Amino acid sequence: MILPVKQTLWIVFWLFNQPEKQNIELFGNFLKDHPTLPDYFDKLLFISYLEDYWDILTLAIKANTNQKDTFANFLDYLDSSTQISIAEEIDKGIKEFLDKADDEEKQRFIIALQALVGLDEFFPQLISTARKIGVQLDELVGAYLTLDSIYLGLEYPPEQLQKMLTTVETAIQNREKPYNYLWQTFIFEGIWSCSLEVINYARQILELFLEKYSESYSFPTASLGINLFLKLLEYDANILDLAPNLFTTLSLDKLMEVDIYKPLDKLLYRLISIRSISRFFVNLEKEYISRLKTLLTHSNKLIRVGSALILKVIRNSSHFPGEIKIELFSDIRIDFSLGIEFIYKEDTKDRLIGITLLSLSDYPIEDKQYQHLIWNNLQNPKTEAEEKAWNKFLEEIPMDSEKHFMWRTLLEEILRKPAVYSSSVLRIAMERYLEIVGKS
């Protein structure tokens, strides 16, 4: 039986059967026979919601996938009764703490749970169990508990920030991603109650990231470095001094793939007041976006290009409503020649960078040569990726009022020739045409 089918059957088995000694040993043998499980196995675990049924079993599988041959450490803790008793112990610990904690202590507890850092203070009774299994206490508790994003905007006190920064530092040193939700809570969601000492420490960690970063390793990722850089920009404009190192260390094509964490989804937007959104996100992000924009005129071309690509990623991933997004990003214009320089390179990755840069430029649509550049690439893109990029270009390129006539002419020419353009190009062209006509 092929491996993916076996994997799926095992996961389905655990959804309907309690872990017992015999079936646990059989599953352990399966993992031993297949020491290298493919990346999609984690996705199978995620979509099956196995962790909602058997928390430590899921943790054991993930730990074994990451480090190999660790499943045996978990054997004494995988039977159903032991997993349930640990869950009860965690519940008891939470209730006992909350009964006697004041509001400040409760907030510290929530931050520790959400970041899964520093939980030994709250669950000392589980430290020996975690040690025997061979995992961090934070991992063990995290297997049972997750907090959703309803706790956005918590203010992290300096002592907890220090613990989180230490965890990040260790992870970068060892090139091992921590098994927790630290990134989204520490770097993205929370408000830092910063001292100069904390900022300086965080800066040292960003410098360590730049020293250790290598595309041949899966961790630390480019996304971590960029997001830490942006977070520090909220609090310290001097972090711009690291921009030359940052944008020469990270390749431009990696910058286009950076995952900027989105702290709010549409549901939370409906649940959280506009005042809260403004306090927690808009003001802070305005700050770092405005500081990042200053790099668009930097003397170093790599920094101009890199900062433009990051601003494009932020804009596309932003949770802001339309009017705020327009306010923050409408004034971004980069030198048109930067995009043209990349468009004519041999490598597809470079051409994709060029198309992206053109979408942020004051495009010379009045020049016939550059009208034909758009028409030709929309009709005959060189690759599927470039087809998508040119479609995105047409969808996003600023069409300023003083150039409406020329943009309208270009769009009308596309709409006159439905036989030579794809349906997606025709749809986007019609949408932009109606947009211009509506403003005329």
Burial of 125 (0-12, 13-18, 19+ CB in 10 A): exposed
Yes or no: say if 182 and 167 are a contact pair by the CB < 8 Å rule.
yes
**Domain co-membership, 342 together with 323:** no
Kindly tell me if the per-residue pLDDT of 264 is higher than 50: no
What average pLDDT does the chain have?
79
Residue 34 confidence (pLDDT): 66
Residue 141 lies in a domain: no
Looking at the structure, tell me whether residues 281 and 353 fall in a common domain. no
Condensed to tens digits (0 to 9), the pLDDT of residues 350-405 reads: 999 999 999 999 999 999 999 999 999 999 999 999 999 999 999 999 998 999 99
Q: Which of 21, 48, 78 is the last residue of a domain?
A: 78
For residues 322 and 370, state if they share a domain: no
Q: Are 144 and 90 spatial neighbours (Cβ–Cβ below 8 Å)?
A: yes
Would you tell me how many other CB atoms lie within 10 Å of the CB of residue 291? 16
Q: Which of 330, 358, 383 marks a domain boundary?
A: 330
Rounded to whole angstroms, the Cα distance separating 341 from 349 reads 13
Q: For the chain, what is the domain count? A: 3
- Structural domain containing residue 421: 336-439
Same-domain status, 248 and 322: yes
Query: Do residues 305 and 349 share a domain?
Result: no
Domain stops at, among 330, 362, 391: 330
Q: Which one-letter DSSP state was computed for residue 330?
A: T
pLDDT of 132 higher than 70: yes
pLDDT for the residue 183: 58
Q: Tell me: the pLDDT tens digits for 10-27? A: 777 777 788 887 788 887
Residue 49: per-residue pLDDT: 61
199 with 309, same domain? yes
Q: Which candidate, 283, 400, 393, 411, places its Cα nearest to that of 343?
A: 393
120 inside domain: no
Same domain, 315 and 341: no
User: What is the Cα–Cα distance from 86 to 96, expressed in whole angstroms?
Assistant: 15
Residues 360 and 316 in one domain: no
Angle at 417 between CA 416 and CA 421, to 5 degrees: 130
Q: Count the helix, strand and coil residues of the chain and give each as a percent rounded to the nearest 5.
A: 75, 0, 25
Q: Say if 89 falls within a structural domain.
A: no
In this model, does residue 215 exceed pLDDT 70? yes
> Is residue 128 domain-resident?
no
Note the residue count of the chain. 440
Cα torsion at 313, 319, 320, 326 (round to 10°)? 30
Does residue 111 lie within any of the structural domains?
Answer: no
Q: Does one domain contain both 236 and 301?
A: yes
In a domain? residue 245: yes
| pLDDT value for 194 | 66
- Which of 83-92, 232-241, 280-289, 297-306 shows the lowest per-residue confidence on average (mean pLDDT)? 280-289
pLDDT digits (tens, 9 = 90+) for 274-301: 333 333 344 556 778 889 999 999 999 9
Q: Quote the tokens at residue 431.
A: 């949408």
Listing DSSP states for 116-181 in one string gives T-SGGGT-GGGHHHHHHHTS-HHHHHHHH----GGGTTPEEPHHHHHHHHHHHHHHHHHT---SSS
55-67 and 80-100 helices cross at what angle (nearest 10)?
100
Please give the structure tokens belonging to residue 34. 């297949």
Both 344 and 403 in one domain: the answer is: yes
Say if 319 falls within a structural domain. yes
What's the rounded Cα separation, in Å, for the pair 158 and 160? Answer: 6
Closest to 191 measured CA to CA, from 111, 271, 86: 111
Question: Tokens 């028409």 identify what position?
Answer: 375
237-242: long-range contacts at Cβ-Cβ below 8 A with a sequence spacing of 24 or more? Answer: 237/291, 239/203, 239/206, 240/291, 240/294, 240/295, 242/203, 242/206, 242/207, 242/210
Let me know whether 292 and 233 are in one domain. yes
The crossing angle, in degrees rounded to 10, of helices 423-439 and 384-396 is 10
* CA distances from residue 339 to 103, 350, 359, 390, 401 in whole angstroms, order as listed: 53, 10, 9, 13, 22
> Whole-model pTM above 0.75?
no
Identify the CA nearest to 423 among candidates 392, 391, 399: 391
Residue 167 near residue 117 (C-beta atoms within 8 A): yes
320 and 207 fall within a common domain: yes
Is residue 212, in this structure, part of any structural domain at all? yes
- Asked if the model's pLDDT at residue 420 lies above 90, the reply is yes
